[in-house]
A = this chain, B = another copy of it.
Amino acid sequence: MEKPLKLLHASLNSRVMVELRNGVEYHGILDGYDVPHMNLVLKKTDQIVNTEQKAKHETVIVRGDNIIYISP
């Protein structure tokens, strides 16, 4: 059994895909998170809307309560 937060920790410094409730995806390098909110810090992030890149962000703090799933 792998706990969600342990998997999140193991994903630090690697690329993850995050989908938010508004349908937007963020693809970036997981640089940090907090507990229990699951707020994330992503680096070198592409913001994807309808499979098209809308913006790039060197760094982004994503609030955890908007997240649907995180795919390491």
Contact = CB atoms under 8 A, between A and B. Distances in A.
Given A20-B68, A22-B21, A59 B5 contact: no
Nearest to A45: B71
B71 A57 contact: yes
Q: How large is the interface on A (under 10, 10 to 19, 20 to 34, 35 or more residues)?
A: 35 or more
Copies of this chain, complex-wide, total 7
A63 B71 contact: no
Interface in A1-22: 1-8, 12, 20-22
Interface in A33-72: 33-34, 36-41, 57-72
Nearest to A63: B67
| Most chain B Cβ neighbours within 10 Å, of A3, A4, A33, A62 | A4
